[in-house]
């Protein structure tokens, strides 16, 4: 291949690189998750073995409680992951999948699974594809990345990538038809959806109360 051709190809690839994470915002307060009543976005993920999968594959045609968390290094996330286990009996009663997604690479997910004895699905969005599809991904600024490193938190090591992307803490309830029926996203990472509200949303889904027209 001629030098000029190689250079042209390299330039083309470099121009494409920013587009991969073009859906990432710079401020978590600007996130715009999809509203209830629209089809749930889908994207490629990695399972615990590092194999490609998709959210739709993990749902397997069932309703799902989809939880986005920042990573296994986040104490608020770890508390939430542990608390979610309390919902498992009620979710199982209604055949609702519990799926937690973070930018952590699969190796880090396994650590979280074992450390907190989690009995539900974890999947890696280290590519940021799903958080971008849901409109909840943002890029952590350089000053915060440096501050995190001072605390022993290495975002690049956790995700295996240098995008420094995180999702805001979010929860989505998806029905069996693949439609979003409950949406919660909060840019304050210290605040998570109350358990009582989640239980009420799950019960409403089980009773078929979502999506009904007023009479």
End-to-end CA distance of the chain: 69
Residue 76 lies in a domain: yes
Q: Are strands 64-68 and 97-102 parallel, antiparallel or unpaired?
A: parallel
Alpha helix segments (H runs only) across the chain: 3-20, 55-59, 75-84, 88-93, 106-115, 129-133, 142-150, 155-159, 195-206
**Distance (Å) of CA 105 to CA 126, 139, 156, 161:** 6, 17, 10, 9
Which residues, including other chains, have CB under 8 Å from residue 162's CB and lie 6 or more apart? 156
Residue 86 lies in a domain: yes
Its domain, for residue 193, covers: 23-199
Residue 214 lies in a domain: no
Secondary structure element (H or E) that encloses residue 166, with its range: strand 165-167
Residue 50 lies in a domain: yes
Residue 193 lies in a domain: yes
> Which residue, chain included where needed, has tokens 């073009």?
22
Single pTM value for the model: 0.88
Spatial CA neighbour of 73 closest among 148, 164, 130? 148
Residue 46 lies in a domain: yes
pLDDT tens for the chain, 215 residues: list them: 454 444 344 444 334 434 455 579 899 999 999 999 999 999 999 999 999 999 999 999 999 999 999 999 999 999 999 999 999 999 999 999 999 999 999 999 999 999 999 999 999 999 999 999 999 999 999 999 999 999 999 999 999 999 999 999 999 999 999 999 999 999 999 999 999 999 999 999 999 999 888 87
Number of domains in the chain: 1
Residue 13 lies in a domain: no
Residue 52 lies in a domain: yes
CATH number for the domain harbouring residue 74: 3.40.30.10
Spatial CA neighbour of 205 closest among 178, 170, 173, 172? 173
- Give how far the C-alpha of residue 45 lies from the chain's centroid of Cα atoms, to the nearest Å: 10
């Amino acid at each position: 291949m001629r030098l000029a051709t190689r250079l042209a190809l390299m330039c083309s690839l470099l121009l494409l690189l920013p587009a991969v994470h073009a859906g990432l915002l710079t401020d978590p307060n600007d996130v715009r998750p999809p509203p209830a009543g629209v089809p749930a976005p889908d994207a490629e993920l990695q399972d615990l073995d590092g194999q490609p999968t998709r959210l739709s594959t993990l749902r397997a045609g069932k309703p799902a409680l989809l939880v986005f968390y920042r990573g296994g290094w986040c104490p608020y996330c770890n508390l939430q992951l542990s608390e979610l286990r309390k919902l498992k009996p009620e979710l199982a009663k209604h055949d609702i999948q519990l799926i937690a997604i973070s930018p952590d690479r699969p190796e880090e997910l396994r650590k979280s699974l074992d450390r907190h004895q989690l009995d539900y699905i974890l999947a890696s969005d280290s590519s940021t594809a799903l958080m971008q599809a849901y409109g909840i991904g943002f890029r952590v600024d350089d000053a915060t990345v440096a501050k995190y490193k001072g605390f022993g938190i290495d975002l690049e090591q956790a995700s295996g990538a240098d995008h420094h992307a995180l999702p805001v803490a979010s929860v989505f309830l998806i029905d069996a038809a693949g439609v979003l029926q409950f949406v919660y996203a909060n840019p304050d990472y210290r605040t998570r959806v109350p358990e009582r509200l989640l239980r009420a949303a799950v019960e409403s889904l089980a009773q078929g109360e979502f999506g009904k027209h007023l009479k």
